[in-house]
Structure 1
């Protein structure tokens, strides 16, 4: 009975897993690991061993049966001889029992693989740690040799890190030899690898994006790479759950400007309450930037003698351009950029402050920004199938960025006289215990300007329905449902906002679909 149960259960599960695996392949859900990483290779070898062992175990009784049939039971020895009876009468029942037992053991190996792989990961951890340490040490030595000829800029924040990095790079490269970390190279080893691969003999400035998922990570990176300019773009709700609260999140981001070089420059977002709190405590030259008029008096009343402010006034925007006046005490300069989105202004002000500190005049920076076409990783404007407008903000998602994207969607709708405003999102991740409160605030903002909400987040959908949000709400379970909704329900001249990280097939289908 036990043998029969093992055989039937294993067969059903193996068939199910096989179909599931084939489906994943067809849907391109299989992640291909890098074989350049020794640790990945070792883990793959462990899995291959399990994969080879499973069919070997299942087929072993049949191999033994053939062996017995050909040679006779009396000539067999070892485990097989002990299991099988000494006469042919009991041969087939015993083989069946062995088949059932081995099948169950194979099933155990299959089901235990999610636990076996972490063991492999843990076992190979010393190799990975040693490799990372060697890369970081090599990068430190390279920077030490360039200490007097290379300026390092470190950028962190809850959102806008990559955007700020790209804007700053495009401004500075007009006058200096500049390199920056590639996309997603924002960990300690990622920055170290960029130092080794990107910095050349004639490089004058290196811009490093630095991310963190727990307290202490930024301070370690700052200790390794020693920025001359430290930037905090914003402190918002992103990763709030990982840090365990607002205070921990603020302190983690503050590590950038607290532990950078004392004779350097700290630049922070003055429209962020958390950033203002950090700036008041700093004892180094600090710049706060602001584009919200209501914060100007608050900033001017701050008493830190090493603090200065840069403001943006008279802000106007069209579908493809932002125009504003910059004020720095008695200095005023008009800026015009070939890029839409009021939410970008504080990022631009930060870049202007850094560029001015490094020797570019405000007029030089204004001339550069007026000419360049900003290629940014966030909120791209696309044309979708059936004459729809797609705002692709799928790089990541945080509360302020979400709200800014919805505001921009309404700006585009008004100027182009578009129809329905549709938001497609998986919600905001890593909010921890504040998730419900953040979502309630978000729903309050969504009331002002959307017609349809499509989400895979059941909490967001539920709260929106409870709030009697006067929009259509679709709570879907799979990314394929999002694609189906788009193809069946979106009409010409609708505007669709893709907010937060979505499945690549969703982006591909919606942005590029011409079916």
Structure 2
């Protein structure tokens, strides 16, 4: 009797565990863009398949397959990792929870169906309740495999659905021959530039921009299908890429006549492998422009400045002196109220004031001004819009909070150049302590350690207190801090952002400035 009760409890615990675990696995697959190769890379890096709970489950499964061991003991051993994992999943909090899109529901449903098939097959073969219990434990042990297989099975379905969406977006765009399309890409800075350009062009045109980080082909398609209006005059299309050819795919759909390349840097090197591949991919936008179009490219980056452009008119821009730059900032002054700068170009020279801070933000503002001038927005209306531009959330935005603290929020997708400029802004703050909270930078491939070590050196030269979050880049950053001579008592290494906030609460005082530099997603520890 006790054996049957424990077996039923084991079945219930196993099924509950799978329902929760499959949801978490799907969340991680979604954060890896539903790409099996990226998901498998995350599995290898995270050690999720060899966690303590998983190893206990593997051991329990082996014990369950030993017939000479009493069933009661086998059930109890199997229940231990299942109950531990259920508790962990129920109390877990995620920075970016699973979004239940239609695609996510299809994958989840397929994974659950595979689970049922495995359990049903075990019953048909053995006709024994305990064998079903073994199958349930095995399903949890192999949950990653089931998720990968579910995604693989649905590829033809997703391709067919996506093709229909593509054709619909193509139809809409073809029905708007007068629509001006501005493509924006770059290793970083493209989202900020998109927002700045949207605000300036809105002084004259009815503008649509891709919202949030809708910078993939499917994100662009969704924007066109759901948000494009017959009266839209300008479409600002942010174009992201993780692989060669991604930007060309978007250009083949939207056919931009104006292109902006904000930067070419060592971002996403895990997928691109070399900086040359990054350059090639970003310039797919420029290569796709018609001969009557124009490209605006940022000459502050060597891999932009060195790229020859001869298929289209090319206007280069820069912060500071640059012989080839058509648009360049000749003076720039930061204050707590923002930035005053002077821009020279074909129009002559003009002064601007903006609430934005940091050289990187001004660098992203220049092409927005240049494109607006190209599209015949009057200079005075541009100057007015620049003064009204609001900081983009999590991208070097400045705010003051109760208690007299100044917060510089640069939590989105940090990179070597952006983090350096953010630290320069923090270093320019003269009142109170300068504090940085950061987990470091990711997706830098073989240079991950090197760049985070350099980041640590830069931190040591720029701040009074450093709070290093998580394990992923901890050793590299701490090494850089030590080499640069930062006092140990000024460095705090913590495991979670919650712990960082607790430390911050004990050391921060009125007048201090806190920089939040990068925020790793759930796929990193």
Aligned equivalent of 1:171:
200
2:329 corresponds to 1:312: yes
Which residue of structure 1 aligns with residue 303 of structure 2? 274
Distance 1:200 1:46, change over 3 A: closer
**How far is the alpha carbon of 1:338 from its aligned partner?**
2.9
Task: Say whether residues 1:430 and 2:496 are aligned partners.
Answer: no
| Distance (whole Å) between structure 1 residues aligned to residue 117 and residue 403 of structure 2 | 52
Cα shift at 1:484: 2.8
Cα gap change, 1:424 to 1:258, in 2 (>3 Å): same
Residues 92-491 of structure 1 correspond to what in structure 2 (within 5 A)? 100-147=130-177, 149-278=178-307, 280-293=308-321, 296-297=322-323, 299=324, 309-329=326-346, 331-370=348-387, 372-377=388-393, 378-384=395-401, 386-411=403-428, 413-414=429-430, 417-419=431-433, 421-455=434-468, 456=470, 457-471=473-487, 472-491=490-509
Q: Deviations over 1:348-400 (max 9, x none)?
A: 11011111111124344223323x24242312223346432221111221111
Cα displacement string for residues 239-275 of structure 1 (whole angstroms, at most 9, x for unaligned residues): 1222101111111111110122221010011111111
Is contact 1:317-1:341 (8 Å) kept?
yes
Q: Kindly report which structure 2 residues correspond to 1:58-97, keeping only aligned pairs within 5 A, or say none.
A: none
The Cα offsets for residues 431-462 of structure 1, whole Å up to 9 and x where unpaired, read as: 00122332243233223211222222223334
SS of 2:424 mapped into structure 1: helix
Distance 1:41 1:22 in 2: 20
CA change 1:204–1:440 in 2 (3 A) is same
Shift of residue 329, structure 1, vs aligned partner: 4.9
Provide the C-alpha distance between the structure 2 equivalents of 1:216 and 1:430, rounded to a whole number of angstroms: 19
| In 1: Cα distance, 2:228 partner to 2:109 partner | 36
Paired with 2:409 and 2:129, the residues of 1 have a C-alpha distance of 55
Q: 1:469 deviation in Å?
A: 3.4
**Within 2, Cα distance between the matches of 1:29 and 1:291?**
35
Alignment RMSD (CA, Å): 2.6
- Structure 1: how far apart are the matches of 2:130 and 2:384? 78
Q: Cα distance, 1:100 vs. partner?
A: 4.8
Name which of structure 1's ranges 249-258 and 450-459 shifts more when overlaid on structure 2. Answer: 450-459
For 2:513 and 2:461, the matched residues in 1 are separated by 15
The answer on 1:33 being equivalent to 2:47 is: no
Point out where structure 2 has 5 or more consecutive residues left out of the alignment.
Answer: 1-67
Q: Which has the larger radius of gyration?
A: 1
* Counterpart Cα distance in 1 of 2:96 and 2:265: 33
1:218–1:252 CA contact under 8 A, matched in 2: yes
Q: Which runs of 5+ in 1 are unaligned?
A: 61-77, 81-97, 300-307, 505-515
How does the TM-score come out when normalised to structure 1? 0.80
